[in-house]
Amino acid sequence: MNLDDFSDLIERPDGGVRRDAEERRERLIVPPGSLGRLDELGEWLSAAQQSVPVKAVDRPRVVLFAGDHGVAELDVSGRAAGSAHELVRAVLDGSSPVAVLARRFSVPLRVVDAGLDCDPELLPEPVVRHRVRRGSGRIDVEDALTAGEAEQAVRLGMRIADEEADSGTDLVVLGDLSVGGTTAAATLIAALCGTDASVVTGRGGAGIDDLAWMRKCAAVRDALRRARPVLGDQLELLAAVGGADLAAMTGFLLQSAVRRMPVVLDGVVSAACALVAQRAAFRAPDWWLAGQVSGEPAQAKALDRMALTPLLDQRVTVGEGTGALLALPLVQAAAALAAELPERAEEDGDGDQDGDGEPVSGGAETAGAETSA
């Protein structure tokens, strides 16, 4: 399997449709630019959907990939190593932040176990049936995955993307449920951006103290030494310093772009996977939105490299797709405004007055007719 093959499969959102959307925006009753970035969002959605006016985003879905990372054994996380299944259980029970928001926004939520380190019996079969392996290797001293496992994980992500696209999902909020995942993500971003460990290492979603941060820096530094020799092959890179969940998310992002299905990225983990995917297919980021600023320095590096500007800056560090889900109403609002605001009434040849010097009547009816058409 060669991830570079995706470069030939992924096309950019339709530029001609985007120009049509921009022209339509010029004709709306509110002045151009008065809706700020909502204008850009609406035009981007039109191009992605190949539709003018844009269609409502009414079938979104939250997709979360779960996994444990062996590097968490070094006490680099605020959570105990091998405890990611507790995060999954909280989501399934409806008691986690992303579950609360998904319930409030009426968005279905899907959890995919790519590499949890727990007995399968602890979680429902639909969640665990996709598992590639139990946990990932300690990336500072060993590979996270074998080459075969890395390919299996990428193909898992591709399969999930196909399932979502085939079921009619029109936008995905992507997140992770992991322990130790931010360490692997920081390593990937540092390797791909050519920076040092201290530049990309943050304090993770659970928050860590100074001593844990120094341990995390050391782990990223050691993992970087193992990552740099395989930078030329994205699959080898994911096997060396990624993990089953990160490899699956990378495959998901690439196949979503192939299927023209927009994705909203959450925090540093999804940003790292997106950066790996961009390395394989340079047009892929045109199908993604950055949901929010998490405050992780590695996320900022990755988004800057991909020229993605976050929609929100709420500094949500909890992960789980929570910050990206917060951005969903903004995307839906942009679609609604672009589709439902009426166009200005056309003026006649003499300007805005009829032959008697009186204002032309029927403008509202004309606008209403155009809108209903």
Active site residues: 320
User: What token pair was written down for 70?
Assistant: 């062996």
